[in-house]
Chains A and B, each alone.
Chain A
Amino acid sequence: MTQPRSALATPRPALEVMIAPGPLLLSTVGRGPELAVHEAQWGPLPALSTQALVELTAAAELRGRGGAGFPFARKLTTVLANRRLGRAPVIVVNAAEGEPASAKDTALILTAPHLVLDGAVLAARALGAREIHVMTPTERPGSGTAVTAALAERRQRGGERVTWRHHEVGARFVSGQAQAVLEHIAGRVGLPVTAWVPEAVRGVRGRPTLLSNAETYAQVAALCHVGLSEYAAVGQDSSLGTTLLTVNRMTDDRLIERYPLVVEVPTGAPLSTVLDAEDLRSPVLLGGFHGTWARPGQLAGARVSRPDVEARGLALGAGVVAPYAGSCPEGVTATIVDYLAGESAGRCGPCVNGLPALARAMTGLVADPGRSGPARGEVERFCGLVAGRGACTHPDGVVRLVRSLLTLMDAPEGWDQL
């Protein structure tokens, strides 16, 4: 069943990204990624005790920005609770960004690498860690170059008392998954394995490991640099701080825009600050290829905040906002599912067998989109067969996408009637 994939079927990350200046994390955009620029903007790194960092990140309601949205302060306390003599924690900065539609971590690494690294150093000092791993994707070589340059600047400046390790991880969709990253650091093939305990309990070489997304560390650094009141004041509508979004407009010809836009918006700001009226009249894929379809109108009045988006039955994930200006969301979804089936690490039976079967069923659904047709039944059956059955959440992400398409197709106010 191997077919040559068209350019459409094999989405690759955009080679160039448009990055708009922003209120906090992206405030130095246009002035360069150098350490001198960073220090002129932010000043010296504040010294925070363990307790102060936990309290500050809890008060700022800071959550992970890799997609799952786990409360950062809780991750810190889990790492702290598992410290033992001779088992100092390890820090991992994940900028692997396996989702090709997302470009916000890459944008951060390219324009403000030192803010990300500051966040890692703050966490290391608070946790008593001496070792920081930074993961960038081979597929976005600019990230690796930027990290190499930034680490050279920091080593030359000296005085940091941490050991930096930079790794370039594979190009697969699942390569940036937490367990895959830990496998890579351990010197094994960087693909997902079963996690019996969270990495915050036992991660790199059995040590409690703080593994977070690059934006999360940049948020930590910005918060510590400016303080809670200034950080909170940036947010809108009772939300605190900012959120990075990747705006990627999809058409029937391409899933990844040539120049996706990365913007930093105040958390709680109206989504209409990044989407125009035309976008809001289209279906919008929120959260990327593992995300959920919003039907036209479902995002009217929506705000860039987890609670607002979740109240609409959607998820912001890692912040990909992808309006679709075409006539066949079934077709686009089938293309994405076909791509994602090919991105399986090939290790877990239900994923290896189930995702290609689901992709074929999706092709059937495009030809026969009837609500009670046999194709629909096949799609639902294979969704049920792969959900929750794998070492990582790749099958679950695909099922979330497909089920949200079914909801979109069933919507009484269907997009094509608008």
Chain B
Amino acid sequence: MSQRQPRVALRVDWPQCTARGLCAELLPERIHVDPWGYPHVLGEVPPELLQRAREAAQACPRRALHLVEHRAS
């Protein structure tokens, strides 16, 4: 808790995404699939899931999943 980590969220590059579904398999805690197979991303990524979120983003064959700075809406 000594250093403030930047808050991170997952963002989909929608025109790139073709519903391959790897992200939802790799990070089911934060990514669900909609009825058409496209990812439904839930809010902020907690620190304990950060490493796996990175792996999910890297695993996307379409490079459509990005880690971005979380902006509170």
Q: Which residues of A contact B (CB under 8 A)?
A: 192-194, 196, 347-351, 353-354, 385, 389-391
Contact A349 B38 (CB under 8 A): yes
> Looking at chain B's contact residues, is the secondary structure mostly helix, strand, loop, or mixed?
loop
Contact B14 A390 (CB under 8 A): yes
Which residues of A have CB within 8 Å of B37? 349
Provide the B17-35 mask, 1 if CB < 8 A to any CB of A, else 0.
Answer: 1110000000000000011
Q: What separation, in Å, do the CA atoms of A192 and B14 have in the docked complex?
A: 10
Interface range for B: 10 to 19
* B56-73 contacts to A (CB < 8 Å): 66, 68
Which residues of B have CB within 8 Å of A391? 13-15
Contact A350 B15 (CB under 8 A): no
How many contacts A-B (CB < 8 Å)?
41
Q: What separation, in Å, do the CA atoms of A196 and B14 have in the docked complex?
A: 12
Contact A350 B34 (CB under 8 A): yes
Q: Which residues of B contact A (CB under 8 A)?
A: 12-19, 34-38, 40, 66, 68
Contact A347 B15 (CB under 8 A): yes
Chain A nearest CB from B69 CB (Å) reads: 11
Contact B15 A348 (CB under 8 A): yes
**8 further interface pairs, Cβ-Cβ under 8 Å (given A349-B37, A350-B36):** A192-B15, A194-B15, A349-B17, A350-B38, A353-B38, A354-B34, A389-B38, A391-B15
Contact A193 B15 (CB under 8 A): yes
Chain A nearest CB from B61 CB (Å) reads: 15
Contact B35 A349 (CB under 8 A): no
Contact A349 B13 (CB under 8 A): no
Chain A nearest CB from B20 CB (Å) reads: 11
Which residues of A have CB within 8 Å of B13? 194, 391
Which residues of A have CB within 8 Å of B34? 350, 354, 385
Contact A385 B14 (CB under 8 A): no
